[in-house]
Structure 1
Amino acid sequence: MEESWHKAKITPQIAGVYPGPPPQVNQPGAKAAEIRELKLALEKERKEHQETRSKLKSSEEELQSAWSQLHAAFRDNLKFLRIDNFKKVDELELEKGAELLRLELEEANRKYQNMKEFLEGKLDEKDREIWEKEKMLKESIENENRLREQHDATVTEMKMKIQKLEEKMDGAKKNALAQTVPPGDIETQPATKIVFKGPYADQITYHQCIKVINSSARRIAYCIKTTKRLRVNVPCGVLEPKEGANLIVSFKKLFGRVDDHITVEWINTPDGAGEFRREWFQGDSMVRKKNLPIEYNPFSE
């Protein structure tokens, strides 16, 4: 009884393809959720960054407005001190008031510059942070794509290995099944011997045509073996049921008396097999044989 077969039986053979534990491959999309979270967080930081820049611009405009107002007040006070109260205010007081206004203006301008530099430094730092996160996100996406490609390549390779093993085992099973049935009969024309007719001369090649016919109900492969002096064309092939093949047996130089012969060997071919393969005749296959002796008749009829 034939032993049942399924994919589980080839698992030990697959281990030879990948020695050791099975390869650990990240499943595609394993980091998809993490990448989505990074994208959302980065988008949120970009939005906050834009809002901070807008606030800085508003603060800059407010400081500029305050500076302009203070500068205008300084001008107005100078005008008042110089024109309206020139006779009432001592020249020293005028200079003192102008100096105080100038100091206030410089202090306001200094604070504005300090705040501007501080905020711009913070924004530049945020720019670098966002750039680094964008770079990390890009690398994560590239790693994810690379892992997906590696996973797909590994899966494809394993499928191909499994398919090859299935085909190999299936072919061996069919071959074994074919060889359990003895090959059928063949016919040869001529049926018992091959006769070459003379007279013979050196340096002349002599030919004789024979025919091999597959008279069985199965597809067969045949192979012709000869003694040293003989040649056969075509020495091997495959025949469908009831199909025949014409062969040419030839020799070149006749010397002495030699017991020449050809041997026809044939076997059943595995189901679904293609072209002729010599390994079919090796091993434990059931091979049948038929000998055809060669007769050299020196007289032509």
Structure 2
Amino acid sequence: MNGTQEKRIPGNLLIEPREEFEFDDLLDEKNQWVFRLTNLGSHTLAWLTVINNWKLLDVYPPCGLLRPSESVEAYVCCEFTESVTGCRSRDHISFQWTEVDDSLTEFDRSVFDGDVIIRRQSVIIKYNF
């Protein structure tokens, strides 16, 4: 955001599922879950994911741009192995987004730096294994 552009509150990003999801029966298999992200606002959004248990979880794609009314699927993969130990009761994924200039053509992490408004939504992860 340049100095002449005013700060705007980012539009809504619809994240489905919204609050929590469960991984079942991993047993050395790779398991994945799909999130659908939809830009409900009237301007382009830059979004990214932050995970608190990167040894167990991965998200692809981890970030991107969404034009108005555009959607993308983000795949959360969970690979449980014997080397992954510890408490998993507080695992979550945080989706973060901010409004960017509509002329931006490529995701740039620096749009989240500086004096910008960032919205967040966390999704709780549960395990049934």
Tell me the TM-score range normalised by the shorter chain: 0.7 to 0.9
The partner residue of 2:69 within 224, 236, 242 is 242
The partner residue of 1:201 within 2, 15, 27 is 27
The partner residue of 2:101 within 257, 263, 270 is 270
1:257 positional shift: 3.4
1:173 positional shift: 3.8
SS at match of 1:172: coil
1:194 positional shift: 2.0
The partner residue of 1:217 within 32, 39, 42 is 42
- Scaled by the length of structure 2, what TM-score is found? 0.86
Query: How many residue pairs align between the two structures?
Result: 123
- Scaled by the length of structure 1, what TM-score is found? 0.39
- Identity of matched residues, %: 26
The higher-RCO structure (CA 8 Å, 6+ apart) is 2
1:211 positional shift: 0.8
SS at match of 2:80: coil
The partner residue of 1:291 within 119, 122, 125 is 122
Distance 1:224 1:250 in 2: 13
Distance 1:290 1:256 in 2: 24
The partner residue of 2:79 within 249, 252, 255 is 252
In structure 1, the gaps of 5 or more residues are: 1-170
Instruction: Give the structure with the larger helix fraction.
Output: 1
Aligned pairs (5 A) from 1:50-199: 172-173=2-3, 176-177=5-6, 180-198=7-25
What do you get for the CA RMSD once the two structures are aligned?
1.7
Q: Which amino acid aligns with 2:41?
A: S
Q: Which amino acid aligns with 1:225?
A: V
1:213 positional shift: 0.9
In structure 2, the gaps of 5 or more residues are: none
Q: Deviations over 1:105-139 (max 9, x none)?
A: xxxxxxxxxxxxxxxxxxxxxxxxxxxxxxxxxxx
SS at match of 2:22: strand
Moved over 3 A (4+): 254-257
